[in-house]
Structure 1
Amino acid sequence: MTDESPSKYAADILPEQAWEWVQRGEAVLVDVRSDAEREWVGAVPGALAVPLKQWPGMAMNPDFDATLLAQVPVGSKKLLMLCRSGVRSMAAAERATALGYEAYNVLEGFEGPLDENGHRGTLGGWRKRGLPWVQR
């Protein structure tokens, strides 16, 4: 975990820590990327797909809260929010916390930050760190 926890959700954690918690059964990984992102770029097997925003237009998903609440009972497990780069997942972790969950932001997201050439996937992220993922 990072040294300082954000005030609106439990903490920021690295992808490896997230994967350890999932493997131990302590947490549920929630992929908040759009359906299009998961289909085109790749997805984590077993992750719960609950888009925060939807393609096209990236409008807020009106079913986000209801889907989370229906899939994971509040208080049952930690929620680990994963997006493309670790930014949208902060908003998702804040929303999940407001719903009563112990929610975490997975730093770097699935693809990591942009490199000097404007490309993702070279400096970090779930995929770059060699954690499980599939491409359809």
Structure 2
Amino acid sequence: MDHLTPKQTYQYLKDNPDAVFVDCRSEMEYMFVGHPVGSMMVPWYDGADWELNTHFVGQVKRIAGANFEKRPIVLICRSGNRTLEAGDALEKAGFKHVINVLHGFEGELDPNHHRNTLSGWRVDGLPWEQY
């Protein structure tokens, strides 16, 4: 698995339009916190009980298409931790080029236990939307 900062990821996505950009946060996070423009939601954990999405790999395969193992898959989550588990599952399923977005969408906790202040997609001023 490769690791890129949000700004490096943004440039990578511009340079590699065949890459699949997957936001693996929950549906609630994706909709209400916001998400990077162009990302597709495929939760790793979701629901009220924070259940593992046992269909995650299959859903990403469907999005990536017939040559899924060769297409770059870029994963983003809240802080860059969930993507490590999700990326590992994809690699075990045969995906050859998985990229983890370091610091995720909201970044690490600051000394006051807040996100969106130190790092992450939003802090770096990259395009995002909310609905």
TM-score by length of 2: 0.91
Report whether the alignment pairs 1:103 with 2:94: no
> Alpha-carbon deviations, 1:30-66, whole Å to 9, x = none?
1000000011100112112110010312110121111
Structure-to-structure mapping, 1:35-74, within 5 angstroms: 35-73=27-65, 74=68
Structure 2: give runs of 5+ residues left out of the alignment: none
TM-score by length of 1: 0.88
Structure 1: give runs of 5+ residues left out of the alignment: 1-9
- Find runs of 4+ consecutive structure 1 residues off by over 4 angstroms: none
Query: What RMSD, in angstroms, separates the aligned Cα atoms of the two structures?
Result: 1.2
Alpha-carbon deviation of 1:76?
A: 4.0
Partner of 1:3 in structure 2?
A: none
Give the count of matched residue pairs.
Answer: 127
Report whether the alignment pairs 1:120 with 2:115: yes
Alpha-carbon deviation of 1:99?
A: 1.6
Q: Which moved more, 1:68-77 or 1:58-67?
A: 68-77
Separation of aligned partners in 1, 2:119 and 2:48:
26
Indicate the percent of aligned positions where both proteins have the same amino acid. Answer: 35
Report whether the alignment pairs 1:19 with 2:10: yes
Q: Is the 8 A contact 1:18 1:29 kept in 2?
A: no
